[in-house]
Amino acid sequence: MMRLFPSHRTETTLVADVGGGGSALAFIELSKGKPSRVIASARTYTSIEERTTDQSITQIAQSLSEASAAVQKIYADAGNKRAPREIVAIVHAPWASSHIAEAERRFDRETRITATLIAELAKEALAKTNVARADIIEAGVAHVELNGYPSHVPEKFSAHHIKVVVLVSEMKAEYKNTLEHALRTFTGIPVKFRSQARALASLLAEGGQARNAVVIDIADDASAITVIRKHVVTEQARVPAGVHALLSKIAANGSREEMLALIGMLGRGACQSAECDRIVRALAAAEPEMTKLFGEAFTVLAAKRRLPNEALLITHADLSPWFAQFFSRIDFAQFTMTSRPFSVHALAPHDLAKYVAGERLHDVSLLIAATLVHIEHQS
């Protein structure tokens, strides 16, 4: 069979960020040994309103279709004609949830570790998850330990104990079909689904950042908290409040863009009007409920082991200063390993610049999705 693009050194992929604040798509140009390049991108948001889970996934699919049409136009108007090699959709919780499972084996003496042995243990671990096959969107080895220590190339060594950790991500088959239909942009090009949890774990492992962290992803309809220990996702929790919940308390009938812009100005100390004063009071009034909801999630996550102190925040750029201050200031120290408040770092485009470059692109959630595709392409 003829290769699709035999004359090009680079490859083009269409990346979708699903559920992290509406939907976003980007055409990215992948090449070896240097950052990938965002050629065109677009994001559409879902409306601020109460809705059921089924209504939410329908809204997300609609926003995905709209973003797809928008990004194709931007891409074509710039003179690009090359079709993408693949479409990769990174899906946030709660639409995609991730779990880990482990399998281990001890030997009487040092034994050579082989790919066959690792695959055998991975299969054993996968069998423990009880996830319906139709709902699995990804499953793979996330971590291998030899004699209690992590190993990136275990096949090169011998050991008397091996533990294989598998990451399994699932999404209801009907949700997958709905989203896949919205992404049928190019006939015949398959859609690969990945979880946001996998993207986060890959980013931390590849970037040499904290091995242990609490990642707080505040999306439109809800928020997801992912605990990563030794670069492996160990726990996840969902908080039934996100950007919409906060904005609805500030102005139920207001414009999303106006509210976000004003909150962003507040964060920069550049908002002095009476409307800004009203928003400050509304944000203060929203704190107790937000504290309760996130505190309940942290209580569950820290039930067996206290949480890492480092917290990575992912949310809309205009909301980052407020949420970063919220998680640093509110007394969540009872849940951390050192009994100190979280040390919060709001992820920004410059944190991802060595993986993905995009001129004037400030969409961190989309850049994280593109970073996963870049990392997988490099390996």
Residues 26-68 have pLDDT tens digits of 999 998 889 999 999 999 987 766 666 677 888 889 999 999 9
Residue 8 banded pLDDT, cuts 50, 70, 90: very low
What does the pLDDT average to over 81-103?
Answer: 90
For residues 51 and 62, the answer to whether their CB atoms sit within 8 Å is no
Interatomic CA distance for residues 106 and 183, integer angstroms: 46
pTM of structure:
0.87
E strand or H helix that includes residue 96: none
For residues 10 and 34, the answer to whether their CB atoms sit within 8 Å is no
Before 288, cis peptide (omega within 30)? no
Six token digits for residue 315:
């949310």
For residues 185 and 14, the answer to whether their CB atoms sit within 8 Å is yes
Interatomic CA distance for residues 102 and 297, integer angstroms: 24
Residue 6 banded pLDDT, cuts 50, 70, 90: very low
The answer, yes or no, to whether residue 103 has pLDDT greater than 90, is: yes
pLDDT at 221: 78
Q: Whose structure tokens read 């423990």?
A: 128
Residue 240 banded pLDDT, cuts 50, 70, 90: confident
Bridge partners (DSSP) listed for residue 149: 146
For residues 165 and 151, the answer to whether their CB atoms sit within 8 Å is no
The answer, yes or no, to whether residue 2 has pLDDT greater than 60, is: no
The answer, yes or no, to whether residue 187 has pLDDT greater than 50, is: yes
pLDDT at 30: 93
Bridge partners (DSSP) listed for residue 30: 11
Q: DSSP of 261-301, one letter per residue?
A: HHHHHHHTT---SHHHHHHHHHHHHHHHHHHHHHHHHHHHH
Report for 61-65, 184-188, 265-269: range of highest mean pLDDT:
61-65
What does the pLDDT average to over 363-369?
Answer: 93
Q: What is the mean pLDDT of the chain?
A: 87
What does the pLDDT average to over 203-226?
Answer: 84
Of 271 and 199, the structure prediction assigns the larger pLDDT to 199
Six token digits for residue 18:
């699903």
Interatomic CA distance for residues 326 and 320, integer angstroms: 10
Interatomic CA distance for residues 87 and 74, integer angstroms: 17
pLDDT at 49: 67
pLDDT at 272: 78
pLDDT at 1: 35
Which of 269, 267, 247 is closest to 256 using CA atoms?
Answer: 247
The answer, yes or no, to whether residue 175 has pLDDT greater than 70, is: yes
Weakest mean pLDDT among 15-24, 110-119, 172-181, 302-311: 15-24
The answer, yes or no, to whether residue 330 has pLDDT greater than 60, is: yes
3 state DSSP class of 37 = strand
The answer, yes or no, to whether residue 113 has pLDDT greater than 80, is: yes
**Structural domains in the chain?**
11-95+173-200+350-378 (3.30.420.40), 97-170 (3.30.1490.110), 210-347 (3.30.420.40)
pLDDT at 208: 61
